[in-house]
Every structure is written in C-alpha cells, then in structure tokens.
Structure 1
Amino acid sequence: MTGVTLEGVVKRFGDVQVIHGVNLTVEDGEFCVFVGPSGCGKSTLLRMIAGLEETSSGSIRIGARDVTYIDPSERGVAMVFQTYALYPHMTVAENMGFGLKMTGHPRAEIDRKVAEAARILKLEPLLDRKPKALSGGQRQRVAIGRAIVRGPEVFLFDEPLSNLDAELRVEMRVEIARLHREIGATMIYVTHDQVEAMTLADKIVVLRAGRIEQVGKPLDLYNNPDNRFVAGFIGSPAMNFVAGVAEAGSVATRGLGQVATSVALPAKGAEVTVGLRPQHLKIGPGDTHRVELTEALGGVSYVHLSAPSGEKLIVERHDQVSLEPGAMVGLSFDVRDAMLFDKDGLRLR
C-alpha cells in the first residue's frame, strides 16, 4: 500500500475556482476523512485524486508516482460511491469479479480474490444472490467488495453510507473500521457527517469553500480547534457560541455574564465570541435562562435554553430530570473550559 500527496492542488470550472491550492499528505495505511458542509469541495477533491476530475494546477502523487494527468484506470485506486451501482442481472460474485473479468484475469484468480473479499466482508452466504435480494447494507458491502477484489493501492469512499438508514449506518461504520484494520490499506473517505469522521478517522481534514481549515486527529480537532468554524463543526451537539466584548482580563457577555480569562485579548471593546461545549454547562439555581425544550434520550438529555440576549444554548445532562418549557434556571461553567475567538473567528490562545 502507499500514501497520497497533494501539492498546490487547484480546480477551476471555467472562471470559478472551487479548490484553492490544497496541500495535504495522507500517510501509507492511514484512514483520512474529508469532512465539511455541502459545497465545500470534498467530493471534488476526492474525484481529482481518482482522476475523474481534471486538475487545473498543482500535482497529485500516489506513492512515488505523479498521477496528476494519468488515466484513472492506471492510478491504482478503487472508488466506492454513494450509489451502489451494481449490475442487477449479475450475482454478488459476478458483480465483485466483473472488473477483473473485463481486464482479462484468469478465472481461477478471479474466484480466489472474490472468495477472499467475501470472507473479509462476511458475504459468503450471499455470493449466489442478485442485488434485488439484498438489503441496503449488504449491497454496500458488495460495492466495497468489488473495490477490494481489484487490489488497489488506495481506497476512495464518496459518502458511501448516506443512502442507508440510521441503524445500518452504524453497522456499516463498524464494518468499514474493521475492514481498514484487517487489510491496512490507505483509505480516503468523504462525508458531511462529523460523527462518521470522528469514529472512523486516523486523520480528519476539515474543508470549507475549497480550502483546508484544519488537519488533525479527531480528538485534537475536538479539544483544540484553530477557529470557530472547526469548533462548531466538530462535536455533536455543536458548541455553544455567545457574543461578547473584550475588557481587562475578561469578556463581557449578556448570554453568560462576565467570563474571566488569562488569554491575551484584543483591545478593550473588541468583539470576542465565547464558545462552550454542551457538557461544560451546568444548570443550577437562578432565573437567568429560559428552558425552551428538553430532549430526553435516556442516558443523556439535551436542554435547550434561551439566554437573556436571545442566544440559544444547549446543555448536556446525564440524568432523567425533565425541565418544563418556560421554566427559568441558572447556568454555570468552569472558565477553563471556555474557548475564545476573535471577530474573524480565529482562536485566541
């Protein structure tokens, strides 16, 4: 297996530039996830690596080979798409082995590789079935098996779970994580779901408007975001943000009161945003915040509050006490858990 390197990669559609000079290294055997909102360029970047989109400028290397302008079939990659794209008239085994058949591989080799992929994906009992007799999760496993049979250097996944229901998504996340551990291949995975990113990735690449916002391990991005965008995108429920202004050694807010800090602040009166994750807020005595809704999920509850400023906050609780809408409560937190961002959204440290 081998890694992938992007250097100054740019993509333009006519006069519109959608990828802006991306530099990235995906190490050999790494599971790298591209994550970001719709339209951020993550699928376009993946398709450029696959060779399905032409690179406007910059270079793409797979291992030691510059593949920037090489045909997709010669890049040593296999791609799993959002849609399964299985041939309905073929069996599971025929679908998985079709690519090798078309390239003239011997029948015995095709059968051996299909059997090995079926073992890895637990598809042996299904090899004689046709796609219409399979569930959505089983069809997606067949699509992944078709990629495994090709023996690629790099696996590319373009939102492969988005067509599945919630239970199957969880099941398939586990299957893909297990697959990566078993075969140790380099994998690049695109999703808009940050939960998928957090649970699958060795490395997350957060994209916005065709640019990389931050790259790092999942918990590094969660605990130490570089800017407000990453802080708000990574984590579920999302981080709470409250507007304030800088004072001497503190930030004055209406939503959370006075927030003391040892962080170097901009000039007095400058705009500062205070960020706190839902689990860092505590409900207590008082009448400063109004309860809008309690989502009671069993082991955890999410209480939605309105601050005096009108800003919305979410508090995570690990009890089964349901607060009625309209109730007034107090709010507290440890100032060491607060993250501060300047008017441009950059983290103040």
Structure 2
Amino acid sequence: MAGVTLTNVVKKFGPVGVIHGVDLDIGDGEFCVFVGPSGCGKSTLLRMVAGLEQTTSGAIRIGARDVTALDPAERGVAMVFQTYALYPHMTVAENMGFGLKMTGHPKEEIRAKVAEASRILKLDPYLDRKPKALSGGQRQRVAIGRAIVRGPEVFLFDEPLSNLDAELRVDMRVEIARLHKEIGATMIYVTHDQVEAMTLADKIVVLRAGKIEQVGSPMQLYSDPNNRFVAGFIGSPSMNFLEGRVETGRVRIAALGDVAVSTKVALPAEGGTVLVGLRPQHLTVTPGPSAITLDIRERLGGVSYDYLTAPGGARLIVETRNDETIAEGTPVQVGFDPAHALFFDPVTEQRLR
C-alpha cells in the first residue's frame, strides 16, 4: 500500500481552469473523501490521480513514485465507477478475474484472488451468476471485487453509490467501511453526499470551484469550520445563518427576538455586522408570544425538524427530540446556548475566532 501526494496540481481544459493549484497529502492506509457541490472538480481530481486526465502542471506521487506522466495501468490504482460496467455474458467470478486474465496471470492465482475477494465481499453464493441475476448492490460489490483482485496500492471510488436506492446506499456504505478496515488500503472516495463523507472518511477534503476549502477529520470540519461554506456544507440539516449587529461588545440578533450574545471572538467595530451560525440541534423551540412562526414540522420518528420563519423573512431549521406537539402556524420562542454559536465575516465569509 502507499500514500498519495499532490503538489500544486493544476488542470485546464483549454483556457478554462478547473483545478487550481491543489496541495494534498493522503497517508498510507487512509480513507480520504473528496466532497463538494456539483462542478467543484472532485471527480476531475480523482481522474487525475487515476491517470484518466492529464495533469496540466504540478506533480502526483503514489508512495515514492512520481506517477504524473505514467499511464493508468502503471500507477498501481484500481477505480470503481458510478456505473458497474460488468460484462453481461460473464459470471461474477469471470468478471472479477477478467483483468488478471488479460494480463496473463496463471489460472490458479486468479482463482485464489477471486476467492479471497469473494470472501471479503460475501459474494460466494453468486459466483456462477450473470450480472442480470444480481441486485444493484450485488453488482456494485462485484465491481469492487474486480478492483480488489488487482491488488492495487490505492483504491479510487467515483460516486459508487449514486445509482442505488436509499436502503442499498446505507448497506453499501457499511460494506465499504468494513472493506477498508479489513484490507487497510489507501482509499480515495468522491461524493457530493456529505453524509457519506462524514460516515466513511478518516479525512475529508472539501472542494469548491477547483480549490480546497478545508481538510480535516469529519468532526474537525463539523465542529471547527474555517468558513461559511464548510460550515453550511458539512452537517445535515444545514447550519442556520442569521445576521447579527455589534452593540457594546455583544452581538444582537434581531431575528431571534433582538437577543444579545456575548462572545470572546474578535468582532468588528461598534455597529458592524456578522453572520451568526447555529446548528439545528443547538436551537430549542417552545410555544409563546413571538414574531417567529412554526411553518412546517417534519416528523421522522425519533427526531423532528421544525421549519420556522423569523422577522425579516429569515428561515430557521430546528431539530427536536421530544413528544411535545406544537401546531403548525403557532408562534414560538427560540432559545440556544451561546457557547455553540459560530461567527463569520459577512463579506469574506471567513470564520471569526
């Protein structure tokens, strides 16, 4: 196995730049997730590591080797795509071993590697089936098995669960996490789903417009975001953002009933504005006279999400975990612990610390 290092990596399609000087270290055996909105460059960056896209400038190293100019087959990587790309006329075993067969590996070696991959992925009952006799999750496991038998230094996953339904996505997410624990390989995984990123990653790389916004563990990004973009992207439901005005060293939030909050962060001058970030689970709602209205309550069993409208049209999401029934359309009072509030510059959107 081996780590991956990207040094000032740039990718342009003609005059259009899509990756802008990315520097990144992924440790040996680490599970690294590239996450970000559509068009941020995460799949392009993964394809550059795979060698499917040529690097305009910069360097990519896998272990001790500079692989920037190498063909995909020489890089020691295996890629699992969003589409399964299985051969319909071959059995599961034949699909998994086909790559080794084409490179001239002995039959016994192929058989042994397919058997090991099948054991890891629990595919033994399906080895003689054709892809049309498999479910979507089973087909994706076969595609992963095909990558395993190659014995790569680095596994690359490009949104592998996007074609699965919600229940299968959860099941496959657990399977991929178990796979990483069992084989301990370096894995790079691309997704737009921050839930997948949070549950799978040792390290998350948040991308926007071809640049890295922040790198860290899931809980580091969740609890200590560097800017509004990361704070709003990581966490579900998304963080609430409200305008606050600096008065006598405190932040007054008009949307929450003109409440004033004390903080130790470096605030703008008197009369300046900040963005106050509050996660849904750090807010509480109680019935009472207020200009804030409960519009919609989504009941999901053990948890509910309340959608509120505050003065000035500000929208809030509150996570609740109690049996109290508050009718939709009821005025409510919103409370929160100031210790959980985060503050951002409204112009640069950088975190105030």
Distance 1:286 1:263 in 2: 32
Distance 1:82 1:251 in 2: 46
Distance 2:238 2:90 in 1: 44
The CA deviation at 1:309 is: 2.0
Equivalent in the alignment of 2:120: 120
Distance 2:272 2:209 in 1: 27
Equivalent in the alignment of 1:170: 170
Equivalent in the alignment of 2:79: 79
Equivalent in the alignment of 2:294: 291
Runs of 4+ in 1 over 6 A off after TM superposition: none
Give the letter aligned to residue 260 of structure 1: S
Structure 2 residue 93 is the aligned partner of structure 1 residue 68:
no
Equivalent in the alignment of 1:240: 240
Alpha carbons 1:286, 1:331 under 8 Å: kept: no
Structure 2 unaligned segments of length 5 or more: list them.
Answer: none
Post-superposition Cα deviations, 1:119-142, rounded to whole Å, max 9, x if no partner, equal: 000000000000000000000000
Q: How does 1:192-341 map to 2 (within 5 A)?
A: 192-256=192-256, 257=258, 258-284=260-286, 285-341=288-344
Equivalent in the alignment of 1:348: 352
Alpha carbons 2:249, 2:270 under 8 Å: kept: no
Equivalent in the alignment of 1:7: 7
SS of equivalent to 1:236: coil
Alpha carbons 1:296, 1:320 under 8 Å: kept: no
SS of equivalent to 1:97: helix
Structure 1 unaligned segments of length 5 or more: list them.
Answer: none
Distance 1:271 1:162 in 2: 40
SS of equivalent to 1:73: helix
Alpha carbons 2:296, 2:308 under 8 Å: kept: yes
Aligned length: 349
Give the letter aligned to residue 184 of structure 1: G
Equivalent in the alignment of 1:56: 56
Alpha carbons 2:10, 2:19 under 8 Å: kept: yes
Give the letter aligned to residue 306 of structure 1: T
Distance 1:65 1:194 in 2: 31
SS of equivalent to 2:295: strand
Distance 1:286 1:298 in 2: 28
Equivalent in the alignment of 1:185: 185
The CA deviation at 1:249 is: 1.6
Post-superposition Cα deviations, 1:128-181, rounded to whole Å, max 9, x if no partner, equal: 000000000000000000000000000000000010000000000000000000
Q: How does 1:131-146 map to 2 (within 5 A)?
A: 131-146=131-146
Give the letter aligned to residue 207 of structure 1: L
SS of equivalent to 2:206: strand
Distance 1:327 1:275 in 2: 24
Give the letter aligned to residue 254 of structure 1: A
Alpha carbons 2:298, 2:304 under 8 Å: kept: yes
Alpha carbons 2:221, 2:234 under 8 Å: kept: yes
SS of equivalent to 2:117: helix
Coordinate RMSD, CA, aligned: 0.9
Distance 2:212 2:170 in 1: 27
Give the letter aligned to residue 304 of structure 1: Y
Give the letter aligned to residue 301 of structure 1: S
